[in-house]
């Protein structure tokens, strides 16, 4: 599965229909803090350059305000794409946390929801 | 009875080796010559050749044949050839039955000769033989048509078509809703790519059409009612109250001078004002004033002062009745409402304007006499042009408006090179596809017009009063904010308001985009889906002046071709009502999408000129009173009987009902590609799969079919048949037939190859089921 297909399977969004007009970047309120623009990130997904995306901070900076989606002329939900990239990034890592590493005393007091979400986000 | 009288001639073609190498034609002749009524059975290497045609003609004359079966290639290739052979031999051309044993036999079951292929050929010819005995002589239908033509819209498209048709000698009526002809083009300054003055090239044509004695201009008028049929449309035109007698008015402008009422001038896009007594623009045709009764206070000053006594403030308008043979839609376009583009601030900031506003601002006859000014009257140093402002956008207009790139390039060049204004063009893709178009792009770049590749995100007003345009320069990835004095939005062309209502009155189909739907996007680009109704220019889709003019010339040619000669003709192969059976329930009328059915003296009547041959009315009739010429129930049953007559009890056979035009062409392509499919598939062509009723399926099963495939190629009919299939499924179950034995498939031309796969898989399925049990077959036979 190539990157565009993988992103679609996670987000349900068709990245390939983007025609790179730049409206998302122009509408993004946190663009100033990003190194690559959302348009560029979408392009990198189209061509499958995941490494370059992971070097950038764009998909972490995204504030999920959906401004890009509201204006996108092809109705692509870029916010969902950013979330998909975050998930791919997280899932790719080796387990950052292992159950055996957590002291038993801590396990007793940790809320289950915190554990579950932590495993979901930081384990492969 | 009929069988005894028939004298049938069957002619089988070898098509060189195309048929002869696979099918043993001599063996075929040995079988068919013994069939009852077959007076002549002959073969030829090339049946379409001239000597072979003469052979058939001789045989017809010598043996007094009254019907002919030709077994050769596809009827799409040579039906007309052999129909003409019959005609020349003195037989009605519809007494020909055409059997396709090339595409549907030798090419699909080759390449080596086989008994199966020979048997299949005989099977197919038997179908044609049985069907031929039910053939009826038919005549082309014709009636006297009106030689007058109605053109709706008098922009450059309507004017061009009217001139063309007028010179050809047709009486042309041109209806225009505005007071003057000229349309949108009259508002433009210069036109691309040559930068010549739009008015200078348009107004001579306007004057010419005004002078042409064959052209009747009906300005300030609207089409109210359209009835009748192609060749004889009855049209009611409402002439809106104009308050001024066009013939008497000398356009001296005194009325406007004394008029106390001022309103925004629509011709100048509301950028200036005019009086309630006004003329749209100086070169208006007809050159006459008009009273805007929405604004007029009826003070009577103009009426008193008019030196020609042309004004009548009590004008209520009038209706005009026309009888025309053809209608030409030249309804043009409107621009998308820029207010809907909220992030661009049109309507909020006065200096955010549309490109049409900019046309008026750069026009010497415009509100600023050609000096581009801001709303407050100050000078303009920097302008930005925003392309794709609403087009190519799923939130607004999904299609590309096609001409915006070019008029933006034109306008940018004029502003930069002639007026010395800095221009930034924000674009997504520059589409400059046309003669001299790319060159203009080049000239723009050389002139120093700045191109920024990025769709504008927002426009707002900064504290210093300038407009700020925010967009990403997608080539660098930087978001840019630039200040401008004016921002011009290139809004897309959309169908004019009122087109939808007019189309409903005319039963004219519009496309998804709201423009008139053409009959074929490539090969019939100016025909609408209704015979005798044509469209050109922006009535069909966004177009520039050049393409609009080409369209108008084409539509004029098509309209004149339609009305050539005294009579309008159409094929007899249409639905018709058997009067004795019709009880006037009117159900068929509801099924007809082309409004071809009317009730006359308590009986339904189908107009063959309006009938599109979809056949939806046929299964709908509870009295079985509607039939299809040359595809009657009798003919179809005979055909089925023929192709199933040799079936052995243990074998499995499948009847494939295939729609005659598109679907059948796909089957031909399978043959052309030499794609093999099982021999037990027999294709039975039908004019439309919507004609199929439970009885057809039952007859097929009764005669020996074990499975039925239905293949449709036309989208409009697909919907009808799909619905019918759902209705028929439970009825089949009542006869103990598994619904899995019947399968419907929509096979438009591009996917014809899937039919071969469908044939193979369906045959496998039916083979698994085995032949339909004899008890079931007998039970059906008894019931029918």
pLDDT tens figures, B514-545: 999 888 888 889 999 888 999 999 999 999 99
**Chain A partners within 8 Å of B343 (Cβ):** 27, 71
Q: Smallest Cα–Cα separation from B615: which of B585, B638, B634, B591?
A: B591
Whole-model pTM above 0.90? Answer: no
B508 — pLDDT class (breaks 50, 70, 90): confident
For residue B243, pLDDT beyond 60: yes
Distance from the Cα of A25 to chain B's closest Cα (Å) equals 6
Angle at the Cα of A19 (from A18 to A24), degrees rounded to 5?
A: 70
- B394 → closest Cβ in A26, A28, A74: A74
* B459 contacts B349 by C-beta, under 8 angstroms: yes
For residue B312, pLDDT beyond 80: yes
Amino acid B4: pLDDT: 56
Name every residue in A having a CB less than 8 A away from some CB of B. Answer: 19-23, 25-28, 31-32, 36-37, 39-40, 71-75
**Chain A partners within 8 Å of B456 (Cβ):** 23, 26
For residue B478, pLDDT beyond 60: yes
Going by the DSSP 8-state scheme, the letter that residue B541 receives in this structure is S
For residue B174, pLDDT beyond 70: yes
Which of the residues A13, A18, A21 would you substitute to probe the B interface, choosing the one with the greatest number of B C-beta atoms within 10 Å? Answer: A21
For residue B401, pLDDT beyond 90: yes
More confident residue, B151 or A111: B151
- Whole-angstrom Cα distance, residue B616 to residue B541? 30
- What's the rounded mean pLDDT across residues B364-393? 95
- A26 → closest Cβ in B394, B428, B472: B472
Residue with structure tokens 């025309």? B324
Burial class for B439, CB neighbours closer than 10 Å (0-12, 13-18, 19+): exposed
Distance from the Cα of A75 to chain B's closest Cα (Å) equals 6
**Chain B partners within 8 Å of A25 (Cβ):** 454, 457, 472, 474, 477, 479
Distance from the Cα of A28 to chain B's closest Cα (Å) equals 9
- What's the rounded mean pLDDT across residues B667-689? 94
- Whole-angstrom Cα distance, residue B483 to residue B479? 14
| Angle of helix A38-47 versus helix A78-92 axis, rounded to 10 | 60
**Chain A partners within 8 Å of B455 (Cβ):** 21-23, 26, 73
B397: nearest CA partner in chain A: A73
Q: Does B388 touch chain A (CB under 8 A)?
A: yes
- What's the rounded mean pLDDT across residues B413-425? 96
| Global ipTM | 0.81
Lowest mean per-residue pLDDT among A21-25, B121-125, B659-663: B659-663
- What's the rounded mean pLDDT across residues B467-494? 97
**Chain B partners within 8 Å of A27 (Cβ):** 343, 457-458
- What's the rounded mean pLDDT across residues B241-268? 95
* B230 contacts B533 by C-beta, under 8 angstroms: yes
Domain with CATH 1.10.1060.10 in chain A: 3-93
Backbone angles phi, psi at B265, to 5 degrees: -85, 110
Amino acid A119: pLDDT: 77
Amino acid B1: pLDDT: 42
CATH architecture of A3-93: Orthogonal Bundle (1.10)
Distance from the Cα of A24 to chain B's closest Cα (Å) equals 8
For residue B492, pLDDT beyond 70: yes
If one counts every other C-beta atom within 10 angstroms of the C-beta of residue B645, the result is 15
Q: Give the whole-number percent of chain B exceeding pLDDT 70.
A: 99
Q: Which residues of chain A have pLDDT under 50?
A: none
Amino acid A121: pLDDT: 63
Amino acid A118: pLDDT: 76
Which of the residues A17, A37, A73 would you substitute to probe the B interface, choosing the one with the greatest number of B C-beta atoms within 10 Å? Answer: A73
Amino acid B2: pLDDT: 45
Amino acid B637: pLDDT: 96
- Asked if B392 and A73 come within 8 Å (Cβ–Cβ), the reply is yes
**Average pLDDT value for chain B:** 94
- Asked if B455 and A21 come within 8 Å (Cβ–Cβ), the reply is yes
For residue B292, pLDDT beyond 80: yes
- Asked if B471 and A22 come within 8 Å (Cβ–Cβ), the reply is yes
Lowest mean per-residue pLDDT among B70-79, B112-121, B441-450, B730-739: B730-739
- Whole-angstrom Cα distance, residue B145 to residue B143? 6
* B83 contacts B60 by C-beta, under 8 angstroms: no
Lowest mean per-residue pLDDT among B249-253, B510-514, B691-695: B510-514
Q: Does B96 touch chain A (CB under 8 A)?
A: no
- For β-strands B141-144 and B422-427, DSSP reports them as unpaired
B610 — pLDDT class (breaks 50, 70, 90): confident
For residue B714, pLDDT beyond 70: yes
- What's the rounded mean pLDDT across residues B647-676? 92
- What's the rounded mean pLDDT across residues B464-478? 96
Amino acid B308: pLDDT: 95
Amino acid A94: pLDDT: 63
If one counts every other C-beta atom within 10 angstroms of the C-beta of residue B649, the result is 8
Amino acid A96: pLDDT: 66
């Amino acid at each position: 599965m190539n990157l565009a297909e993988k992103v679609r399977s996670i987000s349900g969004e068709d990245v390939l229909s983007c025609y790179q007009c730049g409206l998302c970047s122009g509408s993004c309120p946190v663009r100033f803090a990003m190194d690559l623009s959302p348009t560029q990130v979408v392009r990198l997904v189209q061509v499958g350059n995941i490494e370059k995306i992971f070097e950038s901070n764009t998909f972490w900076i995204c504030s999920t305000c959906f401004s890009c989606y509201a204006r996108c002329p092809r109705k692509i939900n870029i916010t969902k794409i950013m979330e998909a990239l975050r998930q791919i990034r997280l899932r790719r890592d080796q387990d950052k946390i292992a159950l055996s590493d957590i002291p038993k005393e801590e396990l007793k007091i940790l809320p289950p929801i915190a554990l579950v979400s932590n495993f979901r986000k930081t384990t492969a | 009875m009929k069988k005894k009288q028939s004298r049938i001639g069957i002619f089988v073609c070898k098509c060189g080796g195309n048929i002869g190498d696979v099918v043993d034609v001599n063996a075929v002749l040995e079988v068919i010559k013994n069939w009852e009524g077959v007076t002549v059975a002959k073969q030829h290497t090339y049946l379409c050749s001239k000597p072979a045609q003469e052979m058939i003609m001789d045989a017809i004359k010598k043996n007094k044949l009254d019907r002919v079966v030709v077994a050769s290639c596809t009827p799409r290739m040579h039906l007309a050839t052999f129909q003409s052979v019959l005609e020349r031999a003195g037989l009605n051309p519809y007494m020909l039955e055409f059997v396709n044993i090339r595409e549907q036999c030798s090419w699909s079951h080759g390449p080596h000769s086989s008994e199966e292929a020979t048997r299949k050929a005989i099977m197919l010819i038997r179908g044609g033989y049985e069907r031929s005995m039910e053939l009826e002589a038919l005549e082309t239908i014709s009636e006297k048509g009106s030689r007058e033509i109605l053109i709706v819209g008098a922009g450059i498209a309507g004017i061009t078509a009217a001139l063309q048709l007028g010179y050809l000698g047709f009486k042309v009526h041109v209806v225009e809703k505005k007071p003057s002809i000229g349309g949108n083009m009259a508002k433009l300054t210069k036109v691309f790519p040559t930068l010549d003055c739009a008015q200078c090239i348009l107004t001579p044509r306007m004057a010419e059409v005004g002078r042409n004695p064959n052209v009747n201009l009906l300005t300030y008028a609207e089409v109210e009612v359209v009835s009748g049929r192609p060749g004889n449309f009855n049209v009611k035109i409402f002439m809106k109250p104009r308050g001024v007698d066009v013939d008497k008015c000398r356009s001296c402008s005194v009325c406007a001078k004394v008029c106390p009422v001022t309103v925004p001038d629509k011709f100048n896009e509301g950028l200036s004002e005019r009086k309630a007594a006004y003329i749209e623009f100086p070169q208006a045709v007809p050159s006459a004033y008009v009273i805007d009764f929405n604004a007029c206070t009826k003070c009577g000053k103009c009426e008193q002062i008019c030196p020609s006594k042309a004004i009548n403030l009590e004008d209520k308008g009038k209706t005009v009745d026309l009888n025309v043979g053809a209608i030409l839609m030249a309804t043009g376009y409107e621009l998308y409402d820029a207010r809907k583009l909220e992030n661009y601030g049109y309507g909020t900031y006065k200096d955010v304007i549309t490109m049409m506003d900019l046309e008026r601002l750069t026009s010497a006859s415009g509100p600023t006499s050609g000096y581009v000014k801001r709303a407050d009257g100050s000078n303009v140093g920097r302008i930005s042009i925003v392309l794709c402002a609403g087009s190519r956008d799923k939130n607004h207009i999904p299609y590309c408006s096609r001409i915006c790139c070019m008029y933006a390039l034109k306008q940018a060049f004029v502003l930069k090179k002639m007026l010395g204004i800095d221009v930034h063009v924000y674009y997504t893709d520059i589409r400059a596809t046309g003669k001299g178009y790319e060159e203009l792009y080049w000239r723009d770049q050389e002139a120093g017009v700045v191109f920024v590749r990025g769709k504008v995100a927002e426009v707002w007003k900064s504290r210093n009063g300038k407009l700020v345009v925010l967009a990403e320069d997608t080539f660098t990835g930087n978001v840019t904010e630039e200040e401008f004095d004016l921002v011009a939005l290139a809004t897309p062309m959309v169908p004019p308001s009122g087109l939808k209502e007019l189309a409903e009155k005319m039963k004219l189909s519009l496309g998804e985009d709201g423009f008139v739907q053409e009959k074929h996007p490539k090969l019939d680009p100016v025909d609408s889906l209704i015979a005798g109704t044509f469209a050109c220019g922006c009535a069909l889709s966004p177009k520039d002046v050049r393409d609009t003019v080409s369209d108008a010339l084409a539509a004029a040619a098509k309209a004149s071709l339609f009305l050539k000669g005294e009579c309008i003709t159409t094929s007899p192969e249409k639905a018709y009502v058997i009067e004795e059976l019709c009880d006037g329930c009117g159900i068929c009328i509801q099924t007809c999408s082309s409004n071809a059915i009317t009730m006359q003296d308590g009986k339904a009547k189908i107009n063959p000129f309006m009938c599109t041959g979809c056949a939806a009315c046929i299964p709908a009739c509870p009295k079985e009173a509607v039939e299809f010429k040359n595809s009657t129930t009798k003919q179809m049953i005979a055909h089925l009987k023929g192709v199933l007559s040799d079936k052995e009890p243990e074998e499995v056979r499948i009847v494939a009902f295939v729609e005659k035009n598109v679907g059948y062409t796909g089957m031909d392509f399978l043959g052309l590609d030499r794609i093999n499919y099982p021999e037990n598939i027999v294709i039975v062509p039908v004019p439309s799969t919507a004609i199929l009723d439970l009885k057809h399926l039952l007859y097929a099963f009764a005669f020996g079919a074990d499975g039925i495939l239905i293949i449709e190629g036309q989208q409009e009919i697909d919907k009808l048949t799909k619905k019918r299939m759902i209705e028929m499924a439970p009825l089949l179950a009542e006869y103990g037939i598994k619904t899995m034995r019947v399968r419907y498939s929509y096979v438009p031309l591009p996917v014809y190859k899937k039919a071969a796969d469908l044939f193979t898989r369906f045959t496998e399925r039916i083979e698994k089921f085995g032949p339909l049990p004899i008890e079931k077959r007998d039970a059906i036979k008894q019931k029918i």
